[in-house]
Amino acid sequence: MHTEAFSFQFFPSILAMATLWSFGSSLIFLTKNPPRRANMRTLAAINVEHKMRVPYELKKGQSRIFHTLPSGLNMEVIFQEGAKRKISDKGNDNSENPPLVFIHGSYHAAWCWAEHWLPYFSQNGYDCYALSLLGQGESDAPTGQVAGTLQTHARDVADFIQKEIKLPPVLVGHSFGGLIVQYYIANVRKDKTQVNGSLHPYITGAAMLCSVPPSGNGGIVWRYLFSKPIAAFKITRSLAAKAFQTSLPICRETFFSVAMQDELVLRYQKLMKESSRMPLFDLRKLNASLPVPPLTNPSLPVFVLGAKDDFIVDLEGLQETGRFYGVSPVCIEGVAHDMMLDCSWEKGARVLLSWLSSLDPED
Ligand SMILES: *[C@@H]1O[C@H](CO)[C@@H](O)[C@H](O)[C@H]1NC(C)=O
Ligand SMILES: *[C@@H]1O[C@H](CO)[C@@H](O)[C@H](O)[C@H]1NC(C)=O
């Protein structure tokens, strides 16, 4: 798609695009030519070649494992073990920290957590697992045009937790990953002892970071369109038309703080482009699953964290998520949407750590 098509002369079509703005899942509607109908054979060939051509190099202490889902497809998991506390610190191991399971959003994959947050939380004594959703990062891609639905992504996360994680973890979801976490906790068991195969495994808590709110991003789009049309235009160009993949300033403005160094923006831009060759969702189906159903377990600890300089999720979106779960959202100054990669990544990590340490390990 050429950027010339996005001049203000085309405002009505920008409007239409903005309503379809869904972090890339809508591109099939935006192109003039209908999508080519690939037959099963070519699709299978495409899917085999899905893996990232520029693989993410793991940091010290990290390992890459693959979790095989019941479908036979493999999910990439980057693991970093939590540093053990000195025995003198505590007499027994009752105070073992819950493992953390990180869920990325659109255009990202497990690597986005591996860069700063996995080392940080593992040093602080937490076992960390960062997943790549299907069709993203080094995970296998299903056949079809999109990677899944809120339900299938939440089910994949649940399958991983059921089979690989011993203690009830804390789920940490970013952006659209936050919406997947919301779907997970709408279908989670009430306690450790409840046995119900149709509900997702019990967890210790859930944190939503710069998350798409429970009603989806439709509200955000319309707010932007009427209050900040230029921002709406920019976001649409950046995300729906994927200009962030080719323009360094647009990539910085969409995901990072202004102070972010060029080399870093370029590096992450390349990884983002590589991470997602298949949209996470089909927007039309996503819309049908929204708003997210309420919590099955109202006593589940939920944390809603946002960033003041978030160009994608506005303050009202953050407050909507807080209201939905009956918690006061925390909004951090001087941090942009990608709070785990931003130059000020440590600010969000510290706030999340302090919430984590307030959780009762006996629960
Ligand atoms: C499991 O949970 C679902 C959803 O809450 C419920 O409809 C179903 O009856 C439960 N099954 C059992 C065996 O408790
Ligand atoms: C999405 O759903 C809402 C109601 O839930 C509806 O008003 C809106 O038109 C739908 N949008 C699309 C693009 O289907």
**pLDDT tens, position by position, 313-335:** 989 999 999 999 999 999 999 99
Whether 266 is covered by a domain: the verdict is: no
Residue with CA nearest ligand 1 atom 7 = 198
Pick 47 or 275 by higher pLDDT: 275
Whether 78 is covered by a domain: the verdict is: yes
Specify the number of domains making up the chain. 1
Task: Decide if 123 contacts 192 (C-beta within 8 A).
Answer: no
**Average pLDDT over the chain, rounded to whole?**
83
Virtual CA dihedral for 11, 13, 14, 15, nearest 10 degrees?
A: 90
Confidence of residue 233 (pLDDT cuts 50, 70, 90): confident
Output the pTM of the full model.
0.84
Whether 3 is covered by a domain: the verdict is: no
Pick 221 or 252 by higher pLDDT: 252
Whether 243 is covered by a domain: the verdict is: no
Nearest atom, ligand 1, residue 196 CA: 1
Pick 81 or 11 by higher pLDDT: 81
Chain-centroid distance of CA 254 in Å reads: 15
For a ligand 1 pocket test, name from 199, 200, 295 the mutation site with the most ligand atoms within 8 angstroms of its C-beta. Answer: 199
198: Cβ below 6 Å to ligand 1? yes
pLDDT digits (tens, 9 = 90+) for 49-86: 557 777 899 999 999 999 999 999 999 999 999 998 76
95: Cβ below 6 Å to ligand 2? no
Name the strand (E) or helix (H) holding 345.
Answer: helix 345-357
CA atoms of 217 and 117, how far apart (whole Å): 26
CATH number of the structural domain spanning residue 164: 3.40.50.1820
Nearest atom, ligand 1, residue 194 CA: 14
Closest C-alpha to 66, from 157, 118, 138, 173: 138
288: Cβ below 6 Å to ligand 2? no
Whether 158 is covered by a domain: the verdict is: yes
Whether 4 is covered by a domain: the verdict is: no
Range(s) of the domain holding residue 77 = 51-82+96-216+277-357
Whether 332 is covered by a domain: the verdict is: yes
Task: Decide if 205 contacts 168 (C-beta within 8 A).
Answer: no
What pLDDT shows up at residue 34? 35
Confidence of residue 28 (pLDDT cuts 50, 70, 90): very low
What pLDDT shows up at residue 289? 87
Whether 265 is covered by a domain: the verdict is: no
